[in-house]
Amino acid sequence: MRKRDQTRFLAALEELPKKMLLLGHTNYLDTCYALWDNLHQDEKREVFDCDAVVPLDKLSKKARREYHAKQRGSWYGSQPNHPNRTEQEDL
């Protein structure tokens, strides 16, 4: 927001609850507070323990293989290097 528009914007925000009441939205402020609480709910949660995170180079060879196997995912049933698979011709 431009600095020159800031005062007009803040004035409009102060008038907004009154305008919403005139339009029949009686629970406007309650809805705003509920939305604000939902947005900041993550800040209230506990942060996980960062000491539990281990760099890949510190993991055992077996653990690294398991990690990379999970990251690769699967081919969802297809087998790209299967001997019976025929290669497609370029069109």
Q: What is the DSSP letter of 58?
A: G
pTM of this prediction? 0.38
Closest CA to 16 of 29, 3, 6, 34: 29
pLDDT by residue for the chain (91 residues), tens only, comes to 788 999 999 999 899 888 888 888 888 888 888 888 877 776 655 555 555 677 888 888 998 888 888 777 666 556 667 666 666 655 5
* Residue at token pair 């939902």: 38
Which pLDDT score, from 0 to 100, does residue 23 have? 87
* Cα atoms in the 13 Å half-sphere on the side-chain side of 32: 9
Which pLDDT score, from 0 to 100, does residue 76 have? 58
**Using CA atoms, how far apart are residues 44 and 50, in angstroms rounded to an integer?**
17
**Using CA atoms, how far apart are residues 22 and 36, in angstroms rounded to an integer?**
23
Which pLDDT score, from 0 to 100, does residue 20 have? 87
